[in-house]
Amino acid sequence: MTAAIAWIDSTISRMRELPSETVAMCDAAGRILAEEIVSDVDVPGFFRSMMDGFALQAHQTQGASTYNPIQLEIIGDSFPGRPYSSNVLPGQAVRIMTGAPMPSGADSVLPCEFAEAHSNQLAALGEVSPGKNVGTVGEDVRRGTVVFQCGRLLRPQDVGVLSSIGRGAVRVIRRPRVGILITGDELLASGSRPTGFRIADANGPMLQALVTRDGGHVLSTDIIRDDRNLLTAAMNQPADIILVSGGSSVGQEDHAPRILAEHGSLVIHGIAMRPSSPAGMGHLDQRMVFLLPGNPVSCLCAYDFFAGRAIRALGGRDRDWPYRRVHATLSRKLVSTVGRVDYARVKLVGAMVEPMAISGAAILTSTTMADGFVIVPSDSEGYAAFTEVDVFLY
């Protein structure tokens, strides 16, 4: 396990950095920035009202109350995008809407609830101080400030900020290109009804969703018959990373390890973990290749431990698991074997962790009924009841 992680990290560090590409703002969420963003505008670029009311000179309201209303003249209106164009003088006010530009001469906004207006006459029923209820120039973003650093994962609100400073497109790191190969003569295409001795492919859609989650771009999801020549050709597609699901062990129809050893390099094959022990990895020309077991839970586990880490790192993302972690107490003993990493599915029952399964590599529903998983390290025989453990939530 440790050697596999070390190989992934060292390989990624040696690989040529993925080039950047420019995408429209509507496609930027979830991508990794490839440039530093410096604003060349103030946001907002003008003083504006923060509420509906009346723009005026604050000192004109001094002493105003419901018992001592102060009379002012309403001389016009200011709307968002349609400002009042003249100056506001002492004794005058402009009716103003939220977000509308402040007229010249006014320094505050008297809220509607502290005012009574009849025709062009205003009775101020409360005081305001200079700057009250006024948004200032650059209070959101100041011209010349660094808005986002290179390497940031853009969230929906980030895209909104970029748009607010006038960016219509942005440079991002190209997503790692991933080819997914699902092997097995027994497999039917995803969406097919299982029949006879054949089963519908579960790993293809699952891996495609995982790769997309981790920022990769899926080039293809192909079902390949257990044929050495067909698999060899498919593994040579123009991808950054190849995932081969199935045929990763040492059986007669397990072609993938032999193809990788003969045409590239099979660096690691067989890992002391349960499930996923037949997993492997290596190089084929400039591609990283991950051999994932065919059993669905093993496939998921091996992807998360190894392939997902490589895809995330290559695309500029955090290489650690994208799972929220909680600390909780085991309700009963969780048994493991020294010398092997175990991936145990668990449920959270109240404040307790209930182990569900530590085996059953073909039972994919164990991951859908589980709330998450617990990792038992190779130097442990497991955890006693009432031990506090880290749970990684699906």
- Which ranges in the chain belong to alpha helices (H)? 2-14, 156-164, 203-213, 228-235, 256-263, 296-302, 308-314, 365-369
pLDDT at 248 over 80: no
Token pair of 334 as six digits:
């969780």
Token pair of 330 as six digits:
């085991």
Q: How far apart are CA 362 and CA 301, in angstroms?
A: 12
Q: How confident is the model at residue 67 (pLDDT cuts 50, 70, 90)?
A: very high
Bridge partners (DSSP) of residue 172 are 21, 33
pLDDT at 253 over 90: no
Degrees to nearest 5, angle at CA 113 with 110 and 119: 80
Torsion of CA 365, 369, 375, 381, to 10 degrees: -90
User: Quick one: which H or E segment has residue 70?
Assistant: strand 70-78
Question: What integer pLDDT is reported at residue 261 of this predicted model?
Answer: 93
Residues with Cβ within 8 Å of 68's Cβ and at least 6 positions away in sequence, in order, are none
Q: CB-based burial of residue 215 (10 Å sphere; 0-12 exposed, 13-18 middle, 19+ buried)? A: buried
For the chain, where do the domains classified as CATH 3.90.105.10 start and end? 20-44+139-173
pLDDT (tens digit, 9 = 90+) per residue, 259-274?
999 999 999 999 999 9
pLDDT (tens digit, 9 = 90+) per residue, 358-373?
667 888 999 999 999 9
Q: How far apart are CA 374 and CA 388, in angstroms?
A: 11
Q: How far apart are CA 245 and CA 223, in angstroms?
A: 9
Question: What integer pLDDT is reported at residue 154 of this predicted model?
Answer: 98
pTM: 0.86
Place of tokens 């530093």: 36
Question: What integer pLDDT is reported at residue 14 of this predicted model?
Answer: 87
Mean pLDDT taken over the chain: 94
Question: What integer pLDDT is reported at residue 357 of this predicted model?
Answer: 67
pLDDT at 73 over 90: yes
Query: Is the N-terminal amide bond of 44 cis, ω within 30° of 0?
Result: yes
Q: How far apart are CA 136 and CA 119, in angstroms?
A: 30
pLDDT at 1 over 90: no
Residue type present at position 297: V
Span of 42-51, 112-121, 203-212, 246-255 with lowest mean pLDDT: 246-255
Question: What integer pLDDT is reported at residue 94 of this predicted model?
Answer: 98
Q: What is the torsional sign of CA 111, 115, 118, 121?
A: negative
Question: What integer pLDDT is reported at residue 247 of this predicted model?
Answer: 76
Q: Measure Cα distances from 155 to 32, 123, 145, 159, 334 in Å.
A: 10, 46, 19, 6, 38
pLDDT (tens digit, 9 = 90+) per residue, 132-158?
999 999 999 999 999 999 999 999 999
pLDDT at 175 over 90: yes
Domain 48-135 has CATH 2.170.190.11: yes
Question: What integer pLDDT is reported at residue 249 of this predicted model?
Answer: 66
Q: Which CATH class is domain 20-44+139-173?
A: alpha beta
Question: What integer pLDDT is reported at residue 16 of this predicted model?
Answer: 74
For the chain, where do the domains classified as CATH 3.40.980.10 start and end? 175-314
Question: What integer pLDDT is reported at residue 58 of this predicted model?
Answer: 98
For the chain, where do the domains classified as CATH 2.170.190.11 start and end? 48-135
Q: How far apart are CA 58 and CA 78, in angstroms?
A: 18
Question: What integer pLDDT is reported at residue 215 of this predicted model?
Answer: 96
Q: Which CATH class is domain 324-393?
A: mainly beta
Question: What integer pLDDT is reported at residue 361 of this predicted model?
Answer: 81
Looking at the domain that runs over 175-314, which CATH code has it been given? 3.40.980.10
Question: What integer pLDDT is reported at residue 251 of this predicted model?
Answer: 62
pLDDT at 250 over 70: no
